[in-house]
């Protein structure tokens, strides 16, 4: 039997999927969680073989849950999403997610992916991979992205400079180059744009 | 979505780059204009000093100090261009050097030549070149001009007579604020124009998105209505004829799938990136998946036939992500005399079953053959390689 943990903040979808998966002879749903924090707690307690995590959850999202679990226990994580935002597949793969598929797949397909992943394979849905390949490339350098990242919560230039061990003037130069490249007027707009496109 | 030739995608980026270059050129033009006026004044004052003072030391100070002062105003101009996003304390720190240079040069040179106007001019110019809010700047310029003109009158009353036409620096000195600011104003107009262009492009994208939203709304509305009808029919049929009821339920599922696919097609209809970006994304994904990636992508990748190679790249990258044993991968796109060669290889687990030969690669093979190319699949002991060769597009073929 493959022991599966389910996490989705939408109760209807979660219970329907759990009911459908329970119909599979070799799959046992051992926990249903309503958010990321609960999923982490339950997974650490129950040690499931496979965790099926919704990407869009309040608090911790599916990829963050997978990242935490992969560091702590031997479990395989599959992330499902309604809409894969740019950059999210890259982030998921980097945090060791074993499977990634859209929510629109039927329960039989989900069950097949759970089996593959439990057997040690990786599964990336072709649709999601195609989307990820047509992501817009970031025109910014790594350093410029660092500056945006360090200032994404509205930190001052001085705080960014300290965080990155740079001179404040260098930080200001980076920011003005970023504003030019993205043709936006404020750092906040640049941060929003970079977050929207999955660059940071 | 991949049938759009890459050139049509690359064009706007190229245009933007040219525009950015144009803006930089204009910036240097503005800087040169301001510095030229300042240097002219320095030369004129050095001339006056030469007429006033025979020793030459004063001339040397007015001349060389003047050049240093001009250089320090260059810092001000750079600051003017990058006036974004700096807190007041950082701003004053970066302005301290130009201010001190201006004050030191002005006061010393003014005292040596005994001209009030020369003493005041560098400091006044410092305030003129700051980035004042709209409206304030007009007042600053008027005040600066009045001060310099008034000091010119004081100077002439005190009898500053260098023998030279001394009114030259005086008149030009009084004109300095106005001339500098008009250069800066011209620069501001250009920046505003550039921003307007950027927001115009954004507006077009937003309008397009709005149109897609309407299409999605129509499409989903239609499908929801169909699904509702099919479910209602199933509800009625199930007690009488279970098979017919189940048939309607299955039909409803198909309708939902169609709606989903249609929505996705609408959303991705305009998504298209240059081939080079697609390959760079592929490399990033493979690296993120923990593979050691050896990539060599021709710098001209965007010129390769995207309609033939795009689907191959998508299919093969997904395959490597999905099936590869996950240690090494190789991604190559090279240009030979008359063709493009794409190669992707990854290590496989020895003895593991090969799942590569699915229908996916068959579809890709058809596309490649339509483009008069070849697709070769090589399975070696511990490696799986796909090599695709397609003829390069000729200019008239585009």
Over the stretch B348-358, which tens digit does the pLDDT of each residue have?
Answer: 765 555 554 45
For testing contact with chain A, the best of B322, B324, B364 (most A CBs within 10 A): B322
**Closest chain A CA to residue B78:** A173
Name which of B172-176, B285-289, B354-358, B364-368 the model is least confident about: B354-358
pLDDT at B246 over 50: yes
CB within 8 Å: A137 and B277: yes
pLDDT at A132 over 50: yes
pLDDT at B2 over 80: no
Whole-angstrom distance, CA of residue A91 vs CA of residue A199: 10
B369 touches B327 (CB < 8 A): no
B4 touches B278 (CB < 8 A): no
Confidence of residue B394 (pLDDT cuts 50, 70, 90): low
A77 touches A69 (CB < 8 A): yes
- Using CA atoms, how far residue B328 sits from B8, B50, B382, in Å, is 34, 76, 11
Whole-angstrom distance, CA of residue A148 vs CA of residue A154: 10
- Using CA atoms, how far residue B291 sits from A86, A183, B183, B324, in Å, is 21, 35, 55, 9
Whole-angstrom distance, CA of residue A176 vs CA of residue A148: 11
Copy the structure tokens of residue B31.
Answer: 């800087």
The predicted structure's pLDDT at residue B4: 36
**Closest chain A CA to residue B94:** A169
CB within 8 Å: B326 and A94: no
pLDDT at A155 over 50: yes
Q: How many CB atoms lie within 10 A of CB A115?
A: 16
State the complex-level ipTM: 0.82
Copy the structure tokens of residue B72.
Answer: 């320090």
Confidence of residue A110 (pLDDT cuts 50, 70, 90): very high
pLDDT at A114 over 60: yes
CB within 8 Å: A94 and B315: no
**What pLDDT digit, counting tens, does each position of B186-201 carry?**
888 888 888 888 788 8
pLDDT at B236 over 90: yes
- Using CA atoms, how far residue B258 sits from A21, B230, B389, in Å, is 24, 14, 35
The predicted structure's pLDDT at residue B161: 53
CB within 8 Å: B321 and A93: yes
pLDDT at A82 over 80: yes
The predicted structure's pLDDT at residue B12: 45
- Measured at the CA of B108, the angle between CA B104 and CA B109, to 5 degrees, comes to 115
Q: How far is A82 from chain B (nearest CA, A)?
A: 11
Whole-angstrom distance, CA of residue B361 vs CA of residue B393: 23
Of A94, A136, A176, the CB nearest to B84: A176
* Chain B residues with a Cβ under 8 Å from any Cβ in chain A: 1, 20, 81-82, 84-87, 90, 94, 194-195, 198, 257, 260, 264, 268, 271-273, 277-278, 280-282, 284-285, 288-290, 313-315, 317-318, 321-323, 326, 360
Whole-angstrom distance, CA of residue B280 vs CA of residue B293: 11
pLDDT at B10 over 50: no
Average pLDDT over residues B291-305: 86
The predicted structure's pLDDT at residue A138: 86
The predicted structure's pLDDT at residue B40: 87
Of B85, B271, B317, the CB nearest to A187: B85
CB within 8 Å: A126 and B277: no
DSSP-based three-state secondary structure for B358: coil
Whole-angstrom distance, CA of residue B371 vs CA of residue B350: 34
pLDDT at A160 over 70: yes
The predicted structure's pLDDT at residue B353: 52
For tokens 């389910």, the residue is: A6
Residues in chain A: 200
Give the bridge partners for B344, in sequence order: B331, B386
Whole-angstrom distance, CA of residue A118 vs CA of residue A7: 17
For testing contact with chain B, the best of A133, A150, A155 (most B CBs within 10 A): A133
Whole-angstrom distance, CA of residue A171 vs CA of residue B352: 51
pLDDT at B395 over 80: no
Q: How far is A134 from chain B (nearest CA, A)?
A: 6
The predicted structure's pLDDT at residue B162: 54
**Which strand ranges, in their side-by-side order, compose the sheet holding B339-347?**
B292-297, B328-335, B339-347, B383-391, B374-379
CB within 8 Å: A132 and B281: yes
The predicted structure's pLDDT at residue B277: 87
The predicted structure's pLDDT at residue B194: 81
CB within 8 Å: A168 and B90: yes
pLDDT at B332 over 70: yes
Of A91, A133, A176, the CB nearest to B82: A176
Average pLDDT taken over every residue of chain B: 81
pLDDT at B7 over 60: no
The predicted structure's pLDDT at residue A5: 96
Average pLDDT over residues A23-49: 95
pLDDT at B365 over 70: yes
Q: How far is B360 from chain A (nearest CA, A)?
A: 10
Q: Quick one: which of B13, B271, B6 has its CA closest to A135?
A: B271
Average pLDDT over residues B76-104: 74
DSSP output for B279-298: HHHHHHHHHHTT-EEEEEE-
Whole-angstrom distance, CA of residue A38 vs CA of residue A180: 43
CA atoms within 13 A on the CB side of B386: 24
| B126 Cβ neighbours under 8 A, 6+ residues apart | B73, B76, B98, B99, B102
Interface A-B, measured as beta-carbon pairs within 8 A, has a size of 101
């Amino acid at each position: 039997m493959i022991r599966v943990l389910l996490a989705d903040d939408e109760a209807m979808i979660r219970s329907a999927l759990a009911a459908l998966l329970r119909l599979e002879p070799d799959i046992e749903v051992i926990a249903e969680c309503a958010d990321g924090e609960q999923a982490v707690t339950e997974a650490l307690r129950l040690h499931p073989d496979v965790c099926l995590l919704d990407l869009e959850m309040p608090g911790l999202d599916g990829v963050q849950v997978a990242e935490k679990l992969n560091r702590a226990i031997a479990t395989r994580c599959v992330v499902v999403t309604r809409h894969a935002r740019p950059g999210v597949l890259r982030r998921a793969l980097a945090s060791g997610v074993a499977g990634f598929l859209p929510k629109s797949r039927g329960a039989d397909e989900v069950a097949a992916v759970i089996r593959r992943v439990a057997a040690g394979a990786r599964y990336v849905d072709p649709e999601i991979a195609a989307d990820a390949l047509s992501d817009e490339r970031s025109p910014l350098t790594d350093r410029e992205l660092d500056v945006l990242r360090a200032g994404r919560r509205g930190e001052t230039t001085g705080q960014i400079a300290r965080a990155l061990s740079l001179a404040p003037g260098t930080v200001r130069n980076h920011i003005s180059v970023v504003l030019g490249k993205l043709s936006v007027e404020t750092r906040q707009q640049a941060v929003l744009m970079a977050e929207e496109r999955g660059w940071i | 979505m991949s049938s759009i030739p890459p050139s049509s995608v690359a064009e706007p980026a190229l245009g933007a780059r040219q525009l950015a270059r144009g803006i930089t050129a204009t910036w240097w033009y503005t800087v040169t204009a301001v510095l030229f006026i300042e240097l002219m004044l320095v030369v004129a004052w050095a001339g006056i000093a030469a007429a006033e003072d025979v020793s030459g030391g004063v001339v040397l100070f007015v001349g060389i100090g003047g050049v240093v002062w001009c250089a320090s105003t260059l810092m001000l101009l750079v600051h003017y261009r990058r006036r974004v996003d700096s807190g007041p304390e950082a701003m004053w720190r970066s302005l301290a050097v130009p201010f001190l240079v201006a004050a030191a040069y002005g006061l010393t040179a003014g005292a040596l030549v005994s001209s009030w106007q020369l003493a005041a001019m560098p400091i006044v110019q410092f305030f003129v070149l700051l980035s004042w809010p709209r409206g304030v700047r007009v007042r600053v310029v008027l005040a600066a001009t009045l001060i310099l003109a008034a000091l010119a009158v004081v100077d002439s009353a005190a009898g500053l007579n260098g023998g030279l036409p001394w009114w030259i620096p005086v008149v030009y000195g009084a004109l300095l604020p106005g001339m500098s600011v008009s250069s800066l104003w011209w620069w501001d107009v250009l920046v505003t124009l550039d921003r307007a262009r950027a927001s115009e492009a954004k507006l077009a994208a937003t309008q397009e998105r709005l149109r897609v939203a309407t299409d999605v709304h129509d499409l989903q509305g239609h499908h929801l209505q169909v699904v509702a009808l099919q479910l209602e029919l199933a509800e009625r049929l199930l007690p009488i004829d279970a098979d017919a009821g189940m048939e309607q339920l299955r039909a409803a599922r198909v309708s939902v799938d169609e709606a989903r696919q249609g929505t996705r097609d609408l959303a991705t209809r305009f998504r298209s990136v240059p081939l080079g970006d697609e390959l760079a994304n592929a490399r990033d994904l493979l690296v993120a998946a923990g593979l050691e990636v050896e990539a060599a992508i021709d710098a001209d990748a965007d010129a390769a036939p995207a309609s033939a190679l795009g689907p191959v790249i998508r299919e093969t990258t997904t395959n490597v992500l999905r099936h590869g044993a996950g240690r090494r991968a190789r991604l190559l796109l090279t240009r030979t005399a008359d063709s493009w060669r794409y190669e992707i290889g990854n290590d496989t687990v020895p003895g593991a079953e090969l799942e590569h030969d699915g229908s996916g690669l068959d579809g890709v093979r058809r596309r490649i053959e339509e483009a008069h190319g070849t697709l070769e699949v090589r399975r070696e002991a511990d490696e799986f390689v796909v090599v695709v060769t397609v003829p390069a597009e000729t200019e008239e073929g585009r």
